[in-house]
Amino acid sequence: ATDILAAVKDLKTPITVMAVGNWLNANPTIGKEILTAGNDLGNHTYSHQAMMHLNYKQALNEIERGKSAIRSAVGSSQKYFRPSGTPKSNSTIRKAALAAGYSNCITYDVDTLDYQDPKPAAIIDNCMKSVTKGSIISLHLGHKNTVIALPKLISELNSHNLTPVTISTLLA
């Protein structure tokens, strides 16, 4: 995670980190580091379960526990939620997110598949083949090839007149 944060700082490109609650609990200073660097922080559940397979009570529990971890890490629950294990949400997820205080349930439309640890060129290709203005790109912390791909990916996006921004900037 610190590699990604250093890379985007060097590239002067803010990001949105949708953090898993148990990861935040295990890394108690990272939440404040994310925000202090000018990035957004959001809730990505507590334990990264496949939310499409959860009932309302289970989904609400995952979201609430993630919210609690974020609040412990940075002093507030933050504004955005992204469901785990799915690029989309459904009515159960959205109802649980709203009940937990998240009116913004964020999904993504560009999957780089970086979590499968492909070569950096594949991460860039997976992004560039479907990215458009307003796209939300899914990238993952903790993957070496994602860090390696970032400078060229951001350069490619910029060469197509696409400027990466945080989710709060995108939705403003």
pLDDT at residue 1 is higher than 80: no
- Average pLDDT (112-134) is 97
Question: Across residues 117-129, what is the average pLDDT?
Answer: 98
pLDDT for position 2: 81
Percent of the chain at pLDDT exceeding 90: 91
Q: Quick one: pLDDT at residue 74?
A: 97
- Does position 142 have pLDDT exceeding 80, yes or no? yes
pLDDT at 112: 97
Long-range contacts of 115-118 (CB under 8 A, 24+ apart): 115/140, 115/143, 117/143, 117/144, 117/145, 118/145
Q: Work out the pLDDT band at 104, boundaries 50, 70, 90.
A: confident
Mean pLDDT of the chain: 95
Is the pLDDT at 108 greater than 90? The verdict is: yes
CA distance linking residue 166 with residue 150, whole number of Å: 15
Q: Over the stretch 22-71, which tens digit does the pLDDT of each residue have?
A: 999 999 899 999 999 999 999 999 999 999 999 999 999 999 999 999 99
Q: How confident is the model at residue 3 (pLDDT cuts 50, 70, 90)?
A: confident
